[in-house]
């Protein structure tokens, strides 16, 4: 890459085209309802457009974009009409390469993990997603979220504990229901 290319600020269109799916998934993991994703994704990119000149091209762009998604999702969560709505699992696309039973199991596991993520404190969830899903190092997370490095590590540790506990609770609650359904099928 030439020096001129390294210094050129990426265009909003190029960022949008390359990272739309990433921002969409980041917002979804942060608990944004499926019905609101499109609007909030566009809000993220409007904010990115306003701060594009501040982007440091020597750093990875995804953590920078996640910072915008995090703040937009935090504002979204503060709205009262989003706090009490019960949301069902989002439909998952069918993968023709796998058998139906494996697709169903993968969809159920994904729904379980997303439900467990919903039970993790929002600020801790952001650190967990950045670190464990996006492989962003803790110092970069601290910078993106404007928190001290020790706070990032503490939130990560607590988020992992909360996620494990939530998964255990959800799996325990699901196990009796699955056992009852199996018993009903055998009886019929």
Determine how many CB atoms are found less than 10 A away from the CB of residue 102.
Answer: 11
Domains belonging to the chain, first-starting first, are 1-87 (1.10.1740.10), 97-188 (1.10.10.10)
Asked if 127 and 152 count as a contact pair (C-beta separation under 8 A), the reply is yes
* Helix (H), strand (E), coil (C) string for the chain: CCHHHHHCCCCHHHHHHHHHHHHHHHHHHCCCCHHHHHHHHHHHHHHHHHHHHHCCCCCCHHHHHHHHHHHHHHHHHHCHHHCCCCCCCCCCCCCCCCCHHHHHHHHHHHHHHHHHHHCCCHHHHHHHHHHHHCCCCHHHHHHHHCCCHHHHHHHHHHHHHHHHHHHHHHHHHHHHHHHHHHHHHHHC
Average pLDDT over residues 164-187: 75
Asked whether the whole model's pTM tops 0.85, one would answer no
- Categorize the per-residue pLDDT at 183 as very low, low, confident or very high, splitting at 50, 70 and 90: low
Q: Quote the CA–CA distance of 64 and 46 in Å, as a whole number.
A: 14
Q: pLDDT tens digits, residue range 107-124?
A: 888 888 889 999 999 999
Question: What are the pLDDT digits (tens) for 36-80?
Answer: 999 999 999 999 999 999 898 898 999 999 999 999 999 998 885
């Amino acid at each position: 890459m030439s020096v001129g290319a390294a210094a050129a600020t990426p265009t909003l269109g190029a960022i949008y085209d390359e990272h739309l799916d990433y921002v969409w998934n980041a917002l979804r993991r942060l608990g944004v309802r499926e019905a609101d994703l499109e609007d909030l994704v566009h809000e993220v990119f409007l904010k990115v457009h306003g701060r594009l000149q501040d982007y440091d091209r020597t750093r990875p762009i995804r953590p920078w974009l996640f910072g915008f998604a995090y703040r937009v999702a935090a504002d979204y969560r503060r709205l009262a009409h989003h706090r009490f709505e019960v949301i069902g699992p989002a439909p998952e696309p069918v993968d023709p390469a796998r058998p139906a039973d494996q697709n169903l199991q993968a969809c159920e596991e994904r729904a379980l993990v997303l439900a467990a993520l919903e039970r993790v404190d929002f600020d801790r969830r952001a650190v967990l997603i950045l670190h464990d899903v996006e492989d962003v190092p803790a110092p970069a997370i601290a910078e993106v979220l404007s928190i001290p490095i020790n706070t990032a590590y503490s939130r990560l540790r607590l988020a992992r504990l909360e996620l494990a506990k939530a998964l255990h609770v959800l799996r325990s609650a699901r196990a009796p229901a699955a056992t009852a359904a199996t018993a009903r099928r055998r009886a019929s």
